[in-house]
């Protein structure tokens, strides 16, 4: 933990905006250097212009590759384009638009020339493809829409990010991202400056034949009553404090308050590319992570009790910069994301009569086993998938999965009628759901979590990092159960050694080991020379520490075989 974690940012912590912007245009990547190539992780291509990892060349090449992919797949409908408030998002938005228009793509840009949350892009794509109609979402045939979201999510202000969402509205799968990345790197090698681009009047939405303004905000906000009981929140008078953390949801929260007559304050409406209003995260960096107590310190201070033991708000919420993540604060403090997921699941599956009786619950394999216990108590099928929201997309589209959630505070769920809402993470509805839960049950999500603990037991959960070089990370990705020779973990017999997810038989890209009381999972980082260990124990913090220590040994032995 950094010595200044949780304290306000100082001038020396802030980026030089001009330097970041200049580097975007001035630095030229060398595609023979791995760190400067296009690489799609679980959430698109990310990097900093200062590291020659997110520059004009990358965006031009990726966008042209997406145009080529669209032609290859026959996607000829509108492409919905949006950006968040990171400083690199605006120039990347312009570079992408230049390439899209030159390729004759029918582009939908924000009618306010402002920021667009990730869930609003997903919602727009699905709506264009038939969501909310009797026919449902159409994923084949002419006129299919898709989209691009320009965001590095909660990453520091120096970073940029670029995501492609195909017609199903969610994150592109590895088949798509692999093809796009390979094609983009080919373009970098051949000469990205030969890519056709449109300039001048061709980029004016009022005159361009290829650009149309789209009101993302109104279309998204007006539809919220199809998924959240806004009337119940209004009737109960729930006092809400919403902090967009300087991100894309800043205008959305004010619009939600006005549209539905809620007692809701936008706690911090400021937008600044340096994010100078943030408190430092655990490692001393500015990071808009709404699941981090250090990054959320300002909002936690707003929720401190007064001398009468009362808080200013009943529920306070935070979103990351593109609003695909959520943070829930009650009088008890910031909720652990796993705890809130478990509460949200139990509430939704007991308060959504329009969902199918066989509608399953989706979780990633590094999410808490508390969710498993909740699913069992509800008599619902649990689908456990690898890390990556893309694995929930098919079930959300056809309504066979009612809720999909990740331990990193990202989730989405179905509309009241059991049809798809978004197939990308939606931090806005997850925040509003906390207020609905309080309005309907009379209890905060943290109070309901305590009740779950009384029924299912308390768990201790952590995520730690350990060093690993490129060769070790590659080995970790390809482990087999036979590579794990241990038969015990922290005093308990090992019951499963998994390298494929039980919910869809997809490769984990790592290892998960379970016992009757605990589990750990190990996955290599895609960007750093480390691997991550996720672990949970229902036998207390001391037992969890043993699990983590022995997990490192188990992984080391497996890597050395």
Residues serving a catalytic function are 153
CA 387: distance to chain centroid? 11
Alpha helices in 286-426 (DSSP H): 297-302, 337-351, 370-378, 393-398
**CA distance linking residue 66 with residue 263, whole number of Å:** 43
**Helix segments in 261-416, DSSP class H:** 297-302, 337-351, 370-378, 393-398
* Three-state DSSP class for residue 280: coil
DSSP state of 336: P
Helix (H) or strand (E) holding 24: helix 17-26
Residue 393 to residue 436: CA distance in whole angstroms: 25
Report helix, strand or coil for 406.
strand
Rounded to the nearest 5°, which phi and psi values hold at 370? -60, -35
CA angle 170, 175, 180 (to 5 degrees): 85
Q: How many helices (H) and strands (E) does the chain have?
A: 16, 23
**Neighbour order of strands in the sheet with 382-385:** 382-385, 360-364, 401-406, 410-413
User: Quick one: which of 97, 108, 109 has its CA closest to 203?
Assistant: 97
- The strand pair at 44-48 and 159-165 is best described as antiparallel
Coil, strand, or helix at residue 145?
A: coil
The three-class DSSP label of residue 360 is: strand
- Mind giving me the DSSP string for 461-504? EEEEEEE--HHHHHHHHT--GGG----EETTEE--EEEEE-TTT
Q: Are 544 and 526 in contact (CB under 8 A)?
A: no
Backbone angles phi, psi at 222, to 5 degrees: -65, -25
| Structure token digits, residue 473 | 């990370």
55, 66, 64, 61: which is closest to 29 by C-alpha? 55
């Amino acid at each position: 933990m950094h010595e200044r974690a949780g304290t306000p940012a100082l001038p020396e912590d802030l980026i030089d905006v001009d330097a970041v912007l200049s580097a975007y245009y001035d630095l030229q990547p060398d595609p023979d250097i791995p760190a400067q190539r296009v690489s799609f992780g679980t959430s698109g291509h990310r990097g900093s212009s200062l590291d020659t990892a997110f520059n004009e060349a990358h965006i031009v090449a990726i966008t042209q590759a997406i145009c080529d992919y669209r032609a290859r797949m026959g996607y000829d409908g509108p492409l919905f384009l949006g950006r968040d408030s990171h400083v690199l998002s605006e120039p990347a938005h312009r570079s992408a638009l230049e390439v899209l228009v030159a390729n004759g793509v029918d582009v939908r840009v924000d009618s306010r020339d402002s920021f667009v949350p990730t869930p609003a892009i997903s919602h727009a794509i699905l709506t264009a493809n038939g969501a909310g109609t009797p026919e449902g979402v159409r994923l084949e045939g002419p006129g299919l829409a898709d989209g691009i979201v320009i965001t590095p999510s909660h990453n520091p202000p120096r970073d940029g990010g670029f995501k492609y969402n195909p017609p199903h509205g969610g994150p592109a799968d590895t088949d798509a991202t692999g093809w796009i990345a390979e094609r983009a790197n080919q373009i970098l090698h051949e000469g990205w400056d030969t890519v056709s681009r449109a300039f001048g009047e061709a980029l004016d939405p009022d005159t361009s034949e290829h650009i149309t303004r789209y009101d993302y905000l109104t279309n998204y906000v007006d539809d919220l009553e199809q998924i959240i009981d806004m009337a119940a929140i209004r009737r109960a008078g729930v006092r809400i404090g919403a902090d967009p953390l300087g991100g894309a949801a800043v205008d959305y929260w004010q619009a939600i308050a006005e549209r539905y007559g809620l007692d809701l304050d936008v706690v911090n409406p400021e937008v600044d590319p340096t994010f100078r209003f943030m408190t430092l995260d655990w490692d001393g960096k500015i990071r808009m992570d709404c699941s981090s107590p250090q990054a959320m310190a300002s909002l936690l201070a707003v929720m401190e009790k007064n001398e009468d033991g009362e808080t200013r708000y009943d529920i306070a919420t935070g979103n990351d910069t593109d609003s695909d993540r959520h943070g829930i604060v009650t009088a008890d403090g910031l909720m652990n994301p796993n705890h809130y997921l478990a509460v949200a699941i139990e509430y939704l599956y007991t308060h959504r009569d329009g969902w199918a009786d066989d509608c399953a619950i989706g979780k990633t394999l590094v999410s808490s086993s508390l969710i498993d216990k909740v699913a069992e108590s509800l008599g619902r099928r649990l689908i456990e998938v690898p890390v990556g929201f893309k694995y929930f997309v098919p079930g959300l589209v056809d309504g066979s999965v009612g809720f999909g959630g990740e331990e990193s505070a990202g989730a989405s769920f179905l509309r009241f009628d059991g049809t798809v809402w978004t197939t990308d993470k939606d931090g806005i509805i997850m925040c509003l759901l906390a207020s609905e839960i309080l309005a309907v049950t009379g209890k905060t999500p943290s109070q309901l979590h305590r009740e779950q603990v009384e029924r299912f037991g308390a768990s201790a959960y952590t995520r730690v990092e350990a060093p690993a070089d490129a060769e070790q990370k590659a080995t970790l990705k390809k482990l087999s159960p036979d590579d794990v020779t241990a038969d015990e973990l922290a005093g308990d017999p090992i019951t499963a050694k998994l390298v494929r997810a039980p919910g869809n038989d997809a490769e984990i890209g790592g290892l998960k080991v379970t016992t009757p009381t605990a589990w750990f999972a190990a996955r290599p980082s895609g960007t750093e020379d480390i691997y991550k260990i996720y672990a949970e124990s229902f036998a207390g913090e001391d037992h969890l520490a043993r699990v983590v220590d022995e997990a490192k040994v188990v992984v080391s032995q497996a890597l050395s075989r």
